[in-house]
Amino acid sequence: MGDGFLMEVCVDSVESAVNAERGGAGRIELCAGLMEGGTTPSMGLLQVVKQCVRVPVFVMIRPRGGDFLYSDRELEVMKADTRLAKLHGADGLVFGALTEDGRIDTELCTALLAALFGLAAFDMVHDPLVALETLVSLGFERVLTSGCDSSALEGLPLIKRLTEQAKGRIVVVPGGGITERNLQRILEGSGAPEFHCSARSARDSGMKFRNSSVAMGTSLSVSEYSLKVADVAKVRTLNAIAKNIL
């Protein structure tokens, strides 16, 4: 944490978690499937990450990609993942759940709230100002948002309005497309005390033998031989920018 700002870095590997901490991240959001916006990571990944870093590790609880309307069976999966994540040392949990008409699913939130510290999926709500008050009433500590737009920069006016409405009752965390080119504008324009980013770069695989005829995912997926990992230099740069704002 640097001079009033806390940087949260979302990661999906031990390497990225270690790099994020080395670069100065104050908190890690641990996920799988970042290409889908983040899904629940394995408990093995959580265990090893907790052994390798000292900063708090918040775990994404999301049983699949796609929307945030969950079935009863998916809720049972989320409950089980919540119990396991707490058992294996998660410092906080992050999730999102909506009703079919785009409002916060208060029933599902209440079912999991005892273990929750943050909310994702906010950007898919029908009315963000009403949704924020719902989260405050439920006792959530923070909400991650791009301002219900394609990026935090595009959604900056709404992020600022949400931060002002929150009045310290809940932390509004800007996230989505944050880079060294726009971070200062986003922090100064929103008044938010925290921010969320991935700060990743592509790293070439160490594989010497490569079968170009086979892809493990869909035909549109990225190459198996190009790995996205948190970049220490990018994390440090973002951290330095945040420190210099005050």
Cα–Cα distance for residue pair 81/63, rounded to 1 Å: 9
Does residue 137 sit within a domain? Answer: yes
Beta strand 226-230 with 200-204 is antiparallel
Is residue 14 a part of any domain in this protein? yes
Answer whether residue 185 is part of any domain. Answer: yes
At residue 180 the predicted structure's pLDDT band, cuts being 50, 70 and 90, is very high
The CA distance from 44 to 2, in Å, is 30
Write down the pLDDT at residue 1: 43
- Tens of pLDDT, residue by residue over 70-108, are 999 999 999 999 999 999 999 999 999 999 999 999 999
Over residues 151-163, mean pLDDT? 98
> Residue 209: inside a domain, yes or no?
no
Residue 77: phi, psi to the nearest 5? -60, -45
The total domain count for the chain is 1
Greatest Cα pair distance in the chain: 56
Would residue 175 count as lying in a domain?
yes
CATH number (domain holding residue 146): 3.20.20.380
pTM above 0.75, yes or no: yes
Q: Sort strands 57-60 and 92-95 into parallel, antiparallel or unpaired.
A: parallel
- Which residues constitute the domain of residue 49? 6-204+214-245
Contacts of 113 (CB under 8 A, 6+ apart): 138, 139, 140
With respect to residue 234, please indicate whether it lies within any of the assigned structural domains. Answer: yes
**71 is a domain residue:** yes
Using the predicted structure, report yes or no on whether residue 121 has a pLDDT greater than 90. no
Determine the pLDDT at residue 237.
97
In a domain, 1, yes or no: no
